[in-house]
Structure 1
């Protein structure tokens, strides 16, 4: 057995002989292995010992195991066994003799729509099993989908799902996933749901149909911005024979608002099956029509007499029509009542009046008005915030200022921030400088531009300076309040971000310590793992540490040589003395 083939993996773990490496990820590498008792081929995932000593990795590895144990589905990789030997943690799973969807797409570019539907129905079954077990996959993409020769799909890699299995682990994570297939809410670091996985499935279906993801870009940040705000081309632009029913499904899956997507994977699978059923029905009707024409053309011509024709199908239809008319004319008393025009008009009038009084909006209490406003403001910024202000909050303040001042005023201030941003052109549809903008508006927009670009430091500098500059300007009191609110939001987010990256900074410090102890391979393993986990996170804190890790890896041979030279020099000095 070639040792280089499986790097630092042992020749044997438990009752499994380790073979060649067949996959890799941030939480370990996957090897082909053989059960020594049954000769069964399996896949074994190994957590390197260097990562096992890092905080949180073993716990996450165990959670991935627990996730697989919970799921029993023909379209999910089957879990077999797990264990630890000589500080090496591993688990054994089903080996799929096939290829990833990524590999197939590279070879075929596109997949015909019927096969896409069949693959997607199987993925729905796998996702339903995961969601029923309380697990959100979070990283559904072509490379995590294995295709067997018989067309069976196997969903793999629940490692990212388990990074967020508990609140304890959530706070140490960042934006983790693959940008091209990441839902908008996941890209914003918000709480994800089963609809987030359905969005990812929509992106996978899109790339299978068209050969390209719905959004692409030169950088991960650019793709994420498009996921949040961009509009994709409809699949029919690239696929000529695509049924409209299937395109509607894909477009609904890629809705920005999770509530506008399908409620769950089961409902989606039924809709996908309907596409196949509708297509079969439409084609069978066409076939029936064609076959009927063919029968007429090949039937021998028979000349019929006039009397024969009169006694044929026309006579039969005439009799049937007469019988139906007679039956209709002798209905019951109730049926005759419903045939009465005046009776039906009376019923209609009652329904209209009843509906009017039923839907007549009653006057809300003050508490109900406040609750309605809160419901609207708990949603992301949108034009409905104007409704909350004009319909609920301002009337509340006018009706009883003593009671509502302390509760309503902060919310009006929150809405004013949104209004000012909108009026200043902060949607990105205007240029940074406009003749209609005041100077404070321009600087607020500039700060927003820096924030959206990920340059939080520069955004904070601009806002802090603006707050100080407007301190004594009574005419700009409103703009100063907006700047203060934005600055507060920025700093609050920065504090949450710092807590979120505790594991990253701690692991980087541990890797540096390992390097100083001349444990170069272990330090290298930690740096590589962190790059996989955080390499696509656009946050400044993450990027700073990841750039440092990349620089260390690039300079590793040089650093090792310098370290060894220093050691040799230190050893030589006593001899010279």
Structure 2
């Protein structure tokens, strides 16, 4: 079954239990991605149509129950000869395991468990479903302490033809109610009787009735009184003992009328005012099934009773009285009838159990060196079964899940239905890797050696970590919780170097995308983007970065804020100032160098460029001006300072900038011989590339000059270049 996929959706993982009628597996529901428990009918019952019909009907009835203390039924199905019930998977232990581990339980814990069982029974009884097999094996306790009752309806599916084979009567006889032992219909009060035994066992660690055979135990349920729980455990309050005494009355009429009534008693029995209440008193004379001592019936003498010396007895001397009425003999006759009825009932019970439990004998097969599933099949074929749970102990001489010991020797004759205890070998016991995160490497190394790992197989691996300080262990390989063999496994211990530091790059002038990538490449994070105007940085590029500047060290993961430029502030204006320049003499190549400063680059001087001219002209210089940020232009001729101009923001804004006129270049005196060759008008002055801000020539001319011939010289010009020209009202 393991690895099989039932119904196209339930992947069987492992076997987790079983009984006389069915095996239980843990499986994974592929469709709903959850673990489930699957109960599979044993092979010997798959051809019993009556059993299968009742099995399915009762399982479907149980599926109608919806209660937090009832194991939910999810699905009922059949695949070939496999009949199965899919139910809720509960992680935890059954109550029988808990009782074996630590009985007697604390009184409050036992009452809490019994209350939850009783609540589940009350819900089931309202749906006309009788459990009929309440016992610790069918009570699951989850890891959260929640009680879950399972196997609703399964006991009800047992027929007279299968009761012996399944062994369910034998397995559950210690929890039988008297009416169940008689073979009569077991109702709701039968479940309450069984619950009383479960509570008895939790508080005392013992069963109320024990015997050499199932028949003797069943007869004790009918005839004998059990040892009161307080005699076994004096710590049990009288109020709690009263609950047990009432629920375990042999006469159903003297028990609780319903599970709800018993639940109410359980919920209040530990109240201070009830703990020392009087012991419950019941009228045993009304129980006709109680074993009694019946006096023998003496023969009645008629005539003389004896003679004295006088010859006559008093009876002879007295007149003979009328015979006593027959009704005086009715009580002995009643007792005789009761005794006869009891004898007949006991005889019927002995005959019933003798016939039902009389089964043929079979030879135990040899299961040594067989896989557990193969051994299970071999036992099923001869009518035997494996005692659950199977003992699993590692044996180096046998493979995993291979049988190496069985409780009954091969060829031993045993009765059909006998449980054979098997011991199988497990895989080599592995060690779970402990968690060492946050500890020092030296301490972890010692701990690993103590686990049996040779020091030569322990390797440190240093790496940066944002979570762990330098020198602390980050983790191991194999990882925490992983199983490994200390005798062969090599272990890598990851040790932290602390958080890695990186040198912060200069983000100034980068776009947002470029800045983000530069940070991410170093393990840094761009968290926030702000905006501000700038005279120095183009719009859309980084003006400044925070909290670290270029070249500073930052830990990986640090978060940064950058400020992007929105361009010049709205109050800034652009202004083109035309600088008049002339050669040293007309036609002579002269080097002109212009340096300027404005609102950009915090007012620092910037090179506009160098031009070589042979004629007078205007050179345009583009300025950016702002309040309190005026412009200044300095002109150098052949490397020597010649002139400086100041352009105020207020004048540029109002259009009142005074622009000088082009000075008249000096004409050299003629020489007698030889006559100088006139300058070639086709020779253009050397033009150097414009500055970064550049400017276009006036009126679109690349050289940007205006010629002043002899006939068109300005009337108000002068030779020193300080003459005032017309105000340039164009704003660029």
How many pairs were matched up?
343
Partner of 1:273: helix, strand, or coil?
A: helix
Instruction: State the Cα deviation string for residues 270-294 of structure 1 (Å, max 9, x = none).
Output: 1111123446999xxxxxxxxxxxx
Q: Does 1:61 align with 2:22?
A: no
Partner of 1:62: helix, strand, or coil?
A: helix
Partner of 1:232: helix, strand, or coil?
A: coil
Deviation at 1:203, TM superposition (A): 0.6
The equivalences for 1:80-479 within 5 A come to: 80-163=74-157, 169=159, 173=163, 176=169, 178-278=172-272, 416-418=336-338
The verdict on how the C-alpha distance between 1:103 and 1:279 changes in structure 2, with shifts beyond 3 A counting, is farther
Distance 1:529 1:55 in 2: 22
Partner of 1:246: helix, strand, or coil?
A: helix
The verdict on how the C-alpha distance between 1:530 and 1:495 changes in structure 2, with shifts beyond 3 A counting, is farther
The verdict on how the C-alpha distance between 1:68 and 1:114 changes in structure 2, with shifts beyond 3 A counting, is same
- Asked if the contact 1:52/1:89 (under 8 Å) is kept, the reply is yes
Q: Which has the higher relative contact order, 1 or 2, with Cα contacts under 8 A spaced 6 or more apart?
A: 1
Deviation at 1:70, TM superposition (A): 2.2
Q: Which residue of 2 aligns with 1:569?
A: none
- Asked if the contact 2:95/2:137 (under 8 Å) is kept, the reply is yes
Q: Does 1:37 align with 2:52?
A: no
Partner of 1:158: helix, strand, or coil?
A: coil
Deviation at 1:212, TM superposition (A): 0.9
Instruction: State the Cα deviation string for residues 122-178 of structure 1 (Å, max 9, x = none).
Output: 0011111221222221111111100012211000113543226xxxx4687578361
Query: Unpaired segments of 5 or more residues in structure 2?
Result: 277-284, 296-324, 363-375, 389-412, 422-732
Deviation at 1:73, TM superposition (A): 0.9
Distance 1:188 1:531 in 2: 28
Greater Rg by CA: 2
Q: Does 1:75 align with 2:69?
A: yes
Q: Which residue of 1 aligns with 2:383?
A: 527
Distance 2:77 2:47 in 1: 16
TM (normalized to structure 2)? 0.41
Instruction: State the Cα deviation string for residues 24-66 of structure 1 (Å, max 9, x = none).
Output: 1232211000011332011011124552123433223203312
- Asked if the contact 2:215/2:353 (under 8 Å) is kept, the reply is no
- Asked if the contact 1:27/1:61 (under 8 Å) is kept, the reply is no
Distance 2:161 2:334 in 1: 26
Deviation at 1:102, TM superposition (A): 1.0
Q: Does 1:14 align with 2:8?
A: yes
Deviation at 1:550, TM superposition (A): 5.4
CA RMSD of aligned residues (A): 4.5
> Which structure features the higher share of strand residues?
2
Partner of 2:269: helix, strand, or coil?
A: helix
Distance 1:378 1:205 in 2: 24
Point out the more displaced range, 50-59 or 241-250.
Answer: 50-59
Query: Unpaired segments of 5 or more residues in structure 1?
Result: 283-375, 387-396, 400-408, 428-447, 449-485, 510-519, 533-545, 555-577
Instruction: State the Cα deviation string for residues 476-527 of structure 1 (Å, max 9, x = none).
Output: xxxxxxxxxx6xx8998899889x969x99x999xxxxxxxxxx94882572
TM (normalized to structure 1)? 0.51
Instruction: State the Cα deviation string for residues 305-364 of structure 1 (Å, max 9, x = none).
Output: xxxxxxxxxxxxxxxxxxxxxxxxxxxxxxxxxxxxxxxxxxxxxxxxxxxxxxxxxxxx
> Which structure features the higher share of helix residues?
1
